[in-house]
Amino acid sequence: MVSTPVTGAVNSGRQYLPGSITEAASPNQYLLPLTARLNPQDHLEIGGCDVPALVHRFGSPLYILDEVTLRTACRHYRQAFQCYYPGDALVIYASKAWNCLAVCAIVAAEGLGIDVVSGGELYTALQAGVAPDTIYFHGNNKSVEELQLAIDAGCSIVVDNWLELKTLTQLCSGGQEQPTKIPILLRLTPGIECHTHEYIRTGHLDSKFGFDPDQLDAVFAFVRQQPSLECIGLHAHIGSQIFELQPHHDLAGVMVQWMSKAAQYGLPVRELDIGGGLGIRYTESDDPPSIDEWVRVVCQGIVQACERQNLPLPRLIAEPGRSLIGSACVTAYTIGSQKVIPGVRTYVTVDGGMSDNPRPITYQSVYRAVVANRMSAEATETVAIAGKHCESGDIVIKQTTLPPTQPGDTLVVLATGAYNYSMASNYNRLARPAAVLVNAGEANIILQRETYQDLIQHDRLPQRLHPTL
Ligand code: LLP
């Protein structure tokens, strides 16, 4: 089910409104959060909150996260696994998409575990109250300190390479008492190609992540001999923003073969973690499968492969990031200067850019935007939305149609929940925006806007550089 234009909508911001939403609506197929509405002032409303009023109250730029959309996506994943998988399943949120206390707390309350990739993400998840035994620690170069933190916390570690395996065995052999075994999963490179940006493809053989499948025997043989490690599972991830279903079906088959090999080595492998990767809609032409379809294909792939090989069903783990949170958030900016180059282009500039959304400049990602304080105004002008950074490439949207705009208008860029805040920077010493969580007319700050004071809090001025009085 996809976003349908509101009846009678002209080419305006209204065309992106989600129409009538049913329980079956898969959030990753919508350009705006599920609660997006038009209010009598012709303003965009999300989570029952008037968007221009939010900007007035909390400042600009502003990330606006819709709790209903995020929770709905969590439920879709959980319900689909209940429906299609006869064994035990766990969905873990790939928190690299957006890691902060409130987001971790929401997904954990929805019964999801959490995937973390650094000590910082792990610390945040623990501080948010996430149960350690639902946390999976990834990463291709975890430090000794990070590994120790994960061991002490009691989470599962997804081991990426030989150095990490050996470091873990050393960390466990130091103490007097035999520690309880550390639960590990082994990350393997499946050699599966998929169509997505080369920077976010990870399953092909020439990838920095995971053990090469040629090493399977050697790794299994080594792990079998380690009394301190318990190899409970295998992991693979083939990439991100993927619309095809076949690669995930194929991956399921490959992983079950690995599981069968692990059984030959006597390893207690009982979990298969199939990674994440389901794409979302950023523009009208994007047509991602629903969460339900993706889960069905993954489950069928595992069930069929296990039947073929006469193996018991593993505990199935999936770790989506973007498809859980991407469509739940928008970024509101305030429009400032404009530059009209006759016959060439008109630049409409906003008060943020590559520091709050580095995806366009990094991956040439395409976004859509609406003018939130004049949603029904006809989009008659073709413009570029420029950021305010000192960099020509800092263009939020290269080409889009908007109604005529003026300084002070609220421009809302859609589907910015994934890999925006989490990849934000202070380039040009811009303070990072605030984020508000909206639900049923209430708006709560979940990330405080940074201040100039915050920007210099870790700067140190050696005494000899102090200006002499
Ligand atoms: N699991 C692993 C091991 C991953 O590396 C990733 C994403 C995921 C799960 C979640 O994938 P998702 O469901 O979100 O597609 N910064 C890029 C995306 C990088 C993805 C990195 N890994 C972007 O903005 O498009």
Closest ligand 1 atom to residue 419 Cα is: 24
| pLDDT digits 0-9 by tens, 37-47 | 999 999 999 99
Residue 207's pLDDT band, with cuts at 50, 70 and 90, is confident
| Ligand 1 pocket, Cβ-based, cut-off 6 angstroms | 94, 96-97, 115, 138, 200, 202, 237, 240-241, 275-278, 319-323, 359, 363, 418-419, 423
* CA angle centred on 106, ends 118 and 125, rounded to 5°: 20
pLDDT of residue 21: 72
Give all domains of the chain, ordered by start, each with its CATH number. Answer: 3-63+330-455 (2.40.37.10), 138-320 (3.20.20.10)
| pLDDT digits 0-9 by tens, 166-202 | 999 999 876 555 557 999 999 999 988 766 665 555 6
pLDDT of residue 374: 97
Alpha carbon nearest to ligand 1 atom 5, residue: 237
> 332 with 369: CB under 8 angstroms?
no
Report pTM.
Answer: 0.95
Query: What amino acid occupies position 242?
Result: I
CA of 383 to the centre of ligand 1 (A): 31
Average pLDDT value for the chain: 94
Residue 268's pLDDT band, with cuts at 50, 70 and 90, is confident
Pick from 141-150, 188-197, 350-359, 394-403: least confident: 188-197
Alpha carbon nearest to ligand 1 atom 9, residue: 276
For residue 51, the Cα-to-chain-centroid distance in whole angstroms is 23
> In sequence order, what are the residues at sequence separation of 6 or more whose Cβ sits closer than 8 angstroms to the Cβ of residue 152?
none
C-alpha dist (Å) from residue 21 to 17, 33, 292: 10, 10, 16
- Is residue 390 flagged as an active site residue? yes
pLDDT of residue 5: 41
Instruction: Tell me what the mean pLDDT of segment 30-56 comes to.
Output: 97
Q: What is the best residue among 28, 90, 96 to mutate for testing ligand 1's pocket, by most ligand atoms within 8 Å of CB?
A: 96
Q: Which two tokens stand for residue 301?
A: 């792939």
CA of 203 to the centre of ligand 1 (A): 12
| pLDDT digits 0-9 by tens, 84-116 | 999 999 999 999 999 999 999 999 999 999 999
pLDDT of residue 10: 59
Residue 31's pLDDT band, with cuts at 50, 70 and 90, is very high
What secondary structure does DSSP assign to 402-469, as a single string?
E----TT-EEEES---SSSGGG---GGGPPPPEEEEEETTEEEEEEPPP-HHHHHTT----GGGSPP-
Q: What is the best residue among 92, 107, 240 to mutate for testing ligand 1's pocket, by most ligand atoms within 8 Å of CB?
A: 240
CA of 86 to the centre of ligand 1 (A): 27
> 341 with 375: CB under 8 angstroms?
no
For residue 182, the Cα-to-chain-centroid distance in whole angstroms is 27
pLDDT of residue 4: 41
> In sequence order, what are the residues at sequence separation of 6 or more whose Cβ sits closer than 8 angstroms to the Cβ of residue 437?
47, 65, 67, 102, 443, 444, 445, 446
The percent of residues in the chain predicted with pLDDT above 70, rounded, is 94
Q: Which two tokens stand for residue 72?
A: 């709905």
Does 204 have pLDDT greater than 70? Answer: no
CA of 223 to the centre of ligand 1 (A): 27
pLDDT of residue 262: 96
Instruction: Tell me what the mean pLDDT of segment 271-297 comes to.
Output: 97
Report DSSP state, residue 202: -
**Residue 65 three-state SS:** strand
> 438 with 47: CB under 8 angstroms?
yes
pLDDT of residue 1: 38
pLDDT of residue 407: 98
Instruction: Tell me what the mean pLDDT of segment 155-168 comes to.
Output: 97
pLDDT of residue 201: 59
CA of 275 to the centre of ligand 1 (A): 9
Residue 450 burial by CB count (10 A; 0-12/13-18/19+): exposed, middle or buried? middle
